[in-house]
Amino acid sequence: MTEHIVVVGGGTGGTVLANRLAEKLGPEIERGDARVTLVSDDPDHVYKPTFLYVPFGKKTVEDAKRPLADLVDRAVDIEIDRVTGIDTDGKRLSLRDGGSMAYDQLALALGAQLVPEELPGLAEGGHHFYGPDGADALRDEMAEFTEGHLVLSVIGTPHMCPAAPVEFVLMADAWFRERGLREDVEITYTYPIQRAHAIQNVADWASEAFEERNINVETFFNADEVDPEEGVLHSMEGTELDYDLLVGIPPHAGSDLVTEAGLGDDGWADVDKHTLESEHAEDVYVLGDLADVPTSKAGSVAHYEAGAVADRIASRTRGQTPTATYDGKTVCFIESGMDEATFVDFEYGTQPTVREPSKPVHWAKLGYNESYWLTARGLL
Amino acid sequence: MSETELDPDVTIDSRGATCPGPLMDLIGKVKEADPGTVIELQTSDSGSKGDVPEWLDEAGHDLLETVEHDDYWSMYVEIN
Ligand SMILES: Cc1cc2nc3c(=O)[nH]c(=O)nc-3n(C[C@H](O)[C@H](O)[C@H](O)COP(=O)(O)OP(=O)(O)OC[C@H]3O[C@@H](n4cnc5c(N)ncnc54)[C@H](O)[C@@H]3O)c2cc1C
């Protein structure tokens, strides 16, 4: 019997996992004892961190894409199709274009979806850099924007890469300064809770940096409506902010597939935070942004989780008891201007320390962005 | 363990989530709730006992009661 392992999603989590499985189960795949299929609805792999640089004209949306076929080990079968249903009792997936597919072990890495329509007026009045079209449109706006009030609002949590909104305003400050426009541009950053970031140490560091750079901060600000006609952002707490350019981090959602399959009732999948095994179904693993674990929705998380899941799936395939676990390891680089950066790393239950920003760390972030393609291929 | 007479319209189970998960779960539900709704927020994060009342103050809703259970708290909130 061939053990069929199906990985859904060709983003960071799914691609790293498929490549790790090809490596770990090489002999089994060769003998025909195991088969790995990667199902994704996009023939390209998209590296989203690139989008942060697009509004500033430093990268293009094209730079973020590579064909999956170039990144995934040839021992993995790639199926470009969209999963439309998951039957965990019958161990079968429904596919939009190709009927259905049976699995023995399933790993879901569908990522998070952007749902700007959840906030009235946001789609019409706001911009963002969280997807290709948004990043392109914001680049055009930023290029034309020479004076006025730029408001960046973190509209909800969880959202991908909790550092990115902080990075965006620090980069915008430096970018407008470089172009001699900073005096004519007011910048305001809003955050839903009582401090500038969920992680206390990052909040302390960011608040100091914002103060030094004359960036206004509004905390306890939960946007509940955008008025595009008047250019006003309203909050649940009763605050109003007039804006000329609104950058809204759009609300995020998990997947309807998760809810429909009974894997989690709010779209995010309930998993054991160490084994990443579903709490509701056998032989189902969930990794990356879709998994509801108490850490950031970050590519580094998806990457480390993929290592643990690959080990567990490989052990099960060989009839061994899996022992590998994920300990919450998260690493985030934080750009703090156009040519300096810092980084944080932490695990479940620990607080990161924010180091003094420096140029070498900025170059390390850019270097990582380039070498990412080796990471995705499982080489790093 | 203490008891309460309150009968919530909505219960949010945020046990196991760390800061700011429980507060954000509450804010998400408040967004959809009508005035008069009573929400029970279950949280095992002791930080919630500080940040939830602080936010309620800011947003103008009431904390009716906090009930301590063995390994979590139930915070009862009324929407204005
Ligand atoms: C602007 C920005 C900056 C970021 N910066 C950083 C950073 O500096 N560091 C960091 O660590 N992280 C960063 N992130 C976060 C990081 O990109 C994500 O956390 C990471 O991509 C999550 O990986 P994933 O595999 O869960 O999902 P994704 O990479 O989003 O992949 C999901 C995949 O699933 C596919 N898919 C979805 N639904 C279906 C379906 N029904 N059927 C088939 N296929 C499907 C999609 O096409 C996609 O290929 C950033 C994100 C953004 C938006």
Digit-by-digit pLDDT tens for chain A (380 residues) are 899 999 999 999 999 999 999 999 999 999 999 999 999 999 999 999 999 999 999 999 999 999 999 999 999 999 999 999 999 999 999 999 989 999 999 999 999 999 999 999 999 999 999 999 999 999 999 999 999 999 999 997 889 999 999 999 999 999 999 999 999 999 999 999 999 999 899 999 999 999 999 999 999 999 999 999 999 999 999 999 999 999 999 999 999 999 999 999 999 999 999 999 999 999 999 999 999 998 999 999 999 999 999 999 999 999 999 999 999 999 999 999 999 999 999 999 888 999 999 999 999 999 999 999 988 887 77
Q: Supply the DSSP string of A104-149, one letter for each residue.
A: SEEEE----EE-GGGSTTHHHH-B-SSSHHHHHHHHHHHHH--SEE
Is the backbone of residue B21 left (phi > 0), alpha (psi -120 to 50) or beta? Answer: alpha
Query: Which of B20, B28, B58 is closest, CB to CB, to A198?
Result: B20
Please name the residues in contact with A355: beta carbons below 8 A apart, sequence gap of 6 or more: A342, A343, A361
Distances in Å between the alpha carbon of A137 and those of A131, A132, A272, A364, B67?
Answer: 10, 9, 39, 28, 49
User: Residue B2 above 70 pLDDT?
Assistant: no
What pLDDT is stored for residue A156 in this prediction?
Answer: 78
Question: How far is the centre of ligand 1, averaged over its atoms, from the C-alpha of B69 (Å)?
Answer: 38
Decide: A80 and A43 in contact? Cβ < 8 Å.
Answer: yes
Give the distance (Å) from ligand 1 centre to CA of residue A300.
11
Predicted pLDDT at A378 = 77
Calpha distance A181→A93 (Å, rounded): 54
pLDDT at A286: 98
Residues of B in contact with A192 (CB under 8 A): 20, 24, 27
Q: Does A222 touch chain B (CB under 8 A)?
A: yes
Contacts of A239 in chain B (CB under 8 A): none
Q: Please indicate whether residue A111, judged by its CB atom, sits closer than 6 Å to ligand 1.
A: yes
A157:B20 CB<8 A: yes
Cβ neighbours around A342 below 10 Å, total: 22
Hey, of B14, B27, B77, which one would you mutate to test binding to chain A, going by the most A CBs within 10 A of its CB? B27
Q: A344 and A331 in contact (C-beta within 8 Å)? A: yes
Is there an atom of ligand 1 within 6 Å of A286 CB?
no
Q: Closest Cα partner for A23 from A76, A60, A61?
A: A76
Q: What's the pTM value of the predicted model, to 2 decimals?
A: 0.95
User: What are B32's two structure tokens?
Assistant: 């959809």
Q: What confidence score (pLDDT) does residue A84 get?
A: 98
Nearest to A192 among B17, B27, B54 (CB): B27
Cα(A108)–Cα(A286) distance, rounded to whole angstroms? 5
B19 is catalytic: yes
pLDDT at position A172 is 98
In this prediction, residue B1 carries a pLDDT of 47
Cα distances (angstroms) measured from residue A43 to each of A7, A10, A69, A73? 15, 8, 8, 15
